[in-house]
Every structure is written in structure tokens, then in C-alpha cells.
Structure 1
């Protein structure tokens, strides 16, 4: 359950540092995130070893929580800013889930709910579609190409094997497209429950 905006204000969340945070001067293995309301709502990140950055919520171009399957740690949130580099927060460490839900709630409270999204970045989407979609299409095409060259000599068992391999390839392709539609493609969230599906 999401805390109310009043109760959640001033809460500190512990997260692990990532390369993007370290490039911005956040030092140490962990950092604390504070989401402050008030006249200038902002999210502040302070490293346990030093360094601090503060981002006004109005400067967040989009907040995108994503899940990438096939990785040991596949949950992450990207904060894209109007001014400055994107920040990636690792979803496998600390208070990630509570922090993302709180930040999304504060953004909705400011009328910025349209900037809260699910999915991965465009280049991560392309990697998924090109690699796994390409494998799927190859599995679909290989039996047809083999039949085109040698089909005249095939027996009934050969045709059955080619049909099975084609169905496997087609099923794999449908699975790749389905996973992309459900989890990878960037899209706005329909509410807290929808966002929670992209969180650990």
C-alpha cells in the first residue's frame, strides 16, 4: 500500500549507487534519497561517502520503471531530466520499490502524472526486438527455405518435422512480441497498481 503524501514526506530511502549516480559525484556504495514537498518539490540524493544532487520534480521529463528479463538484477528506474543527464536507479537494492511509488505519487500530486511511465529505454527495446525477434524469424524461415531447396525429396515425416519447427519459431516470435508489449515498450501508467507491476 502507498503511504499518503502527508505521511511520506520527509522519508529517507536507502538505495545502492549506480554508475550514473557516481558520475554525478555521489560517493559510497549506498545513497539516501529524500523526496521533499513544499514550495519547490524536489528529490535529493546524498551518497554515504559524500556528494549530493538535488532535482526539482518539475525538471523530471519522465520517470520510467522497467523490468528486463534475463538479467540477475533486472528492475531499474530511469529519471530523465530536462536539464542534465539521466539517472538510473538499481531496483535490486534498498528501498527501491517504496521510493519509486512515493516519487510517482508526489509527481501525480503536482499534476505531472503523465510523466510517470513503465518500460525500458528505446535502445534497450531495440536490442530485445532485433536479437530475439531476429532469432524467431530465423526459426520460422529456416524450414521454409530448406523445403524450397530440398522439399521434392521429403517424406511425410520430414514435412511434419518442418511444420513443428515452424510452429516453435512462430510461438517464440509471438512470445517476444507479447513480452515487449507487456513490459518493455514505454507507456504511461494507469495508476499505482499498474506501476507496481514493474517493481520488485
Structure 2
């Protein structure tokens, strides 16, 4: 005896579910392929030992609040989530203000990861200003610049043409008089398209 054929609506539902699963799997792969994008959630084991997803807005909300309240502070160096998503780090230079401790206290019970404050070697505001100066004074040799996440210097992208002419990125910086009071780290060679 033959099994009855599924109705057209059931076939459509099954096809829709397969497409949805494929799209969700693709989204997961895309998130993994772009590690520079901040994660919007963290997997955390619950009391029953199973992995559950916390509300997506807890991590995003914490990072947005920290940015909104402290972005204009020269001591603030941003936030980062470690690769295994067990720790969120706030980078700060100098004494930590009570207002920042209060933000941490407000969110700590809601998030399934550790929140830590990590000191920076240099004042992040000074590094941001130096990155701006390097871009302003040394373009087009310097194609991009920004403070290093750990606050220990400035990351730069050096022009491909300058590197080819000089033989190396370091030689391109030296030959073009690119110097700084802060350590400079060449993170890439390339050309940034104008916006």
C-alpha cells in the first residue's frame, strides 16, 4: 500500500522550512566569517548544562550604553569580546570613575559573561588624535590609521605604491618622514578608496 501524497500546502511548508534552515545556517556562517563585527549575543551554559542564548540586547545594550556615556572621555578605549565569548573587556586609562563602575554593576547580573576593565598604556584620546594627525599630515602614504585596541600605539595602513617604491612598509614610513611619539604598527598594505 502506498503512503498518501502530501498536499500542496504541506509540500510548500516543507520547502519553506528547508529554505529557512538554509538561510539561518548561512547567517551563522557569515557571522563566523567576520570576526571584526561585535557579537550581539554570547552562548552561555545554564544550570541544566545546556547552551542557551541570552537576550541579544544585553550585550548590545551594554556596549551602546558604555559608548554613549564615555565616548567623549579621552580615557575610554572601547569594548571588546574575547574569542570564546566568556569575557567583555572595557579598555580604560587611569583611575576608573564611579559612573563606569555603576554601568558595570547595572549589567553584570544580566549578562552571562565576565566584565573586566583593562588598563591601556597610553591615553586612548591621545592615540585617536595621533591617528588623525598621521592621516592628515602623511596622506597618501598613510591610507588608514587608528588607535590599537589594547591602547599601546597606533595601527596604520600604508599605501601599496609607497611600499613598492621603498621596498617595505617600514622603509616607506622612514623615507616619507612618518614618525610619532607613539609606537606605529603596520597592520596592512593597501589603498583605501575615497568615500
TM-score bin (small chain):
under 0.3
Bigger relative contact order (CA 8 A; separation at least 6): 1
Considering only CA atoms, is the larger Rg found in Structure 1 or Structure 2?
Answer: 2
TM-score by length of 1: 0.24
Query: TM-score, normalization: structure 2?
Result: 0.25
* Structure (1 or 2) with the greater helix fraction: 1
